[in-house]
Chain A
């Protein structure tokens, strides 16, 4: 059980990084990235190849992943930041699919659908069964650093400009802010963080393959950010952990449902997740955390808890 909890906590923290990444551009600058899984994959592959084929140290792999994700973000954003958000949504979705295709078909580089196995974990042999706990600590440390950076950005003049762009890009432009540059920077940073998350994932499970990076991951992260609260890093983080709890408890919940086949159980599980996302968006549009932002005081029950 303990190993399972450590495992879920680690994966949850990696989703936390993804949520922070999405929150930066979605909550921060009002841009959307449906290609999150693609940047996640770019980072995972960069670090996996660097540490297996090129035998670089793991830390170098992680830095490389950050850079590769950021670079990919820059490329996508330079051709699309002029687009409206709905175009950006579709283009980024296409980007993730292209990344998956390249990973599956460029066998010489990525080993194709076989995937890359044997990705080293830090001190894995030395730690033995303590590896899960130590790795969780490493991921938590990185998560904390990124979180502090995000909070910093959120409260800095830079963050205010981003929010101004979110509210009205034209006004920001008129106010003399280089909107394109701000957007590109934010998007690249966000993509870099997603890349780093991918690297952390690969070195944890020791295996990556194109099948890992399905659009469903992006849906999960959106659920996390929407649920936790857009626009606040802490909300995104809480959302990511809640998502993990939901994903895993759905597994146990459907076991309680009698007399249905295994397929139906699996369908039911995905159904629960999807319905949860809709309900969160509908009933708690600001997410859990932003709800506390002074709004209409219409919660007479609140004092009771």
Chain B
């Protein structure tokens, strides 16, 4: 059952990166859109993600519940030593989640819209940034559970070059995912071109920040290069990601939108795999060289067993219903 639970955890984290990430990206795209095109972007975005909006964010809840039920030690270590970035990410989640709904459901469309929009854009950026920072911090090896002073214990664990670079990389990836997603959602050729431009821009940004992640890793003495290039899985994942990048640009220029989404999702999955495979099942790397592993800190057997059962039962109920939701609202009205 432990494997089942860990698989669910990885899937939930991946899906949150892809689906939730595309949602953050939508706000980030809006942030980098010229004023005159903004209202159009907003409209396309709303049609695209409105129906699946709430569902996309459930993956975070699933992941966090699996962590605190099945792997409490990991959950509490994160909560204590990454308290500040987690709190900032939560503020971002609260702000963007409510602003998104408020701006749509405000019965009067007036100056308040300006206010909701601002909040939505900036908090989307901040949420994605801190999501990345947290992910980066977990593997950065800067978290020091034996620290005696405030700065080492609660700040330097996440405020370091590597974590911040991963944060910016995440922002670019989210924007990229959203742009790719939106290309398929608009019918007008002009808008399509606009989103293609955005996707290209975000892709370049992702490559640049990706390079920064490697540089920062060197600087912070994180064996990222070893993880990625010395393991077969990491290496093949990164090769596949690079190959799909070439294909992706080709398709982008050709304007083929359907395969693009799958390809973009695939690419991000490969990137996550490349970074995380080498130190799996370790979830948190600590400053003293120790690591907190999923396998070693799993909760008692009965808990894992019932958690696994609950997840399996849940997916039987959720997945068909969710699939139908996506299917129903993906179909273009003729």
Q: Do A and B bind each other?
A: no
Name A's B-contacting residues (CB within 8 A): none
